[in-house]
Copies of this chain bind each other. A is one copy, B any other.
Amino acid sequence: MKKLINAPDDVVSDALEGLAAAHPSLAVDMDSRVVTRAGGPRPGKVGLVSGGGSGHEPLHAGFVGYGMLDAACPGEVFTSPVPDQMLAAARAVDGGAGVLQIVKNYTGDVLNFQMAGELAGEEGIEVRSVLVNDDVAVEDSLYTAGRRGTGATVFVEKIAGALAEQGADLAALVTVAEQVNARTRSFGIALSPATTPASGRPGFTLAEDEIEIGVGIHGEPGRRRGPIGTAAQLAETALDAIHQDLPLDGEVLVMVNGMGGTPLIELYIVFREVRRLLAARGVAVARNLVGNYVTSLEMQGFSLTVCKLTEQFTELWDAPVQTPALRWGR
């Protein structure tokens, strides 16, 4: 294992110190392991909290800032954060209007956010949760009952975050977040595995020419393995899986996401193919993200996330955002 780390046990705390030093717009509570916006909560604004295992950067801490999240709770690598973190986050961001938890569907995350929500409730903080489960690859998985949550998280965080900034109440945010999740699907393909610092070994192995089709963001198995094809073929495989589950039409928001070890030049090639295939079905890519947003350490591969836009989604997507990983319009 060759990694730029000091010791496996220090990876998350060292990285959080680096994150805090790099971004004055963030406040990092090293004891609680909670990343918030510098300056504290805005009275009357619903606080948006997300979190999950580390190793998926910039998710989630990279999306803390104006127009998106108020707090992120990073767990150990590929490990759920604990309820105490989530409770500390809820306390830190509650401006009196309650807290929305954005939870990717992994069993540990779901249970811990639920417990944290109950504890916060006992303290008088109103907490609601939305579950993100957009990955069509498999119905149940290693760490999941039901579908895994992946790329849609970025869309939910951005769109609900923009609405929260406008002063929407908790119920309205739950509604829009659920709508985004309902209209979004993802599918991932891995060319190589990732190695967690703690294990020191690749999470799985692939033959020289083999890929994992439908892979999860922790290297969970997908639908099948097969030989690598062209970028056009891989894009079609991912898009077909999505389209079969949620027939696409009209205007869509597309993310071609790198798993962490894939060159950007390759992601642009995949985007070219996705856009071409969608155009052939009469579907227009109205908005897009191409880059590393939901990674799996150094895994090579990509995931495709497609959201069927509504007028409201587009408007909220275009609204100003100022986070380390997503910035525009202000």
Known: A15-B272, A21-B285, A271-B18. A266 touches B5 (CB 8 A): yes
Neighbouring B residues of A18 by C-beta, 8 Å: 267-272, 275, 290
**Which one of B19, B58, B272, B292 lies within 8 Å of A14 (CB-CB)?**
B272
Q: How far is the CA of A20 from the CA of B264 in the complex (A)?
A: 14
The contact string, 1 if C-beta is below 8 Å from chain B, for chain A 261-304, is 11111111111110100000000010010101001011011100
**Which one of B4, B62, B290, B295 lies within 8 Å of A270 (CB-CB)?**
B4
Neighbouring B residues of A228 by C-beta, 8 Å: 2
Neighbouring B residues of A272 by C-beta, 8 Å: 14-15, 17-18, 21
Please tell me if the beta carbons of B264 and A21 are within 8 angstroms of each other in the complex. no
Q: Which stretch (A112-120, A230-238, A240-248) binds chain B?
A: A230-238
Binding site of A, secondary structure by majority: helix, strand, loop or mixed?
A: mixed
Neighbouring B residues of A302 by C-beta, 8 Å: 4
Neighbouring B residues of A211 by C-beta, 8 Å: 2
Neighbouring B residues of A201 by C-beta, 8 Å: none
Neighbouring B residues of A265 by C-beta, 8 Å: 11-12, 15, 54-55, 57, 77, 297
Q: How far is the CA of A191 from the CA of B15 in the complex (A)?
A: 19
Please tell me if the beta carbons of B268 and A5 are within 8 angstroms of each other in the complex. no
**Residue among A12, A18, A77, A295 facing the most chain B CB atoms (10 A cut-off):** A18
Neighbouring B residues of A16 by C-beta, 8 Å: 268
The contact string, 1 if C-beta is below 8 Å from chain B, for chain A 208-224, is 11010000000000000
The minimal Cβ–Cβ distance linking A4 to chain B, given in whole angstroms, is 4
Please tell me if the beta carbons of B230 and A5 are within 8 angstroms of each other in the complex. yes
Determine if A327 is an interface residue (Cβ-Cβ < 8 Å).
yes
Q: How far is the CA of A14 from the CA of B234 in the complex (A)?
A: 15
Determine if A3 is an interface residue (Cβ-Cβ < 8 Å).
yes
Q: How far is the CA of A234 from the CA of B3 in the complex (A)?
A: 11
The contact string, 1 if C-beta is below 8 Å from chain B, for chain A 108-128, is 000000000000000000000
Please tell me if the beta carbons of B263 and A19 are within 8 angstroms of each other in the complex. no
Q: How far is the CA of A18 from the CA of B297 in the complex (A)?
A: 25
Known: A4-B270, A298-B300, A300-B298. A55 touches B191 (CB 8 A): no
Of all chain B residues, which has the CB nearest A3? B266
**Which one of B15, B208, B261, B264 lies within 8 Å of A268 (CB-CB)?**
B15
Neighbouring B residues of A295 by C-beta, 8 Å: 263-264
Please tell me if the beta carbons of B14 and A269 are within 8 angstroms of each other in the complex. yes
Neighbouring B residues of A266 by C-beta, 8 Å: 3-5, 15
Q: How far is the CA of A54 from the CA of B298 in the complex (A)?
A: 21
Neighbouring B residues of A85 by C-beta, 8 Å: none
In the A-B complex, the 6 residue pairs with the closest CB atoms: A18-B268, A18-B272, A4-B266, A57-B264, A15-B268, A261-B261
A-B contact pairs, 22 of them (CB 8 A): A2-B300, A3-B266, A4-B234, A4-B270, A5-B266, A6-B231, A6-B232, A6-B269, A12-B265, A15-B268, A15-B269, A15-B272, A17-B272, A18-B270, A22-B271, A54-B265, A57-B264, A77-B265, A260-B263, A260-B264, A261-B300, A327-B328
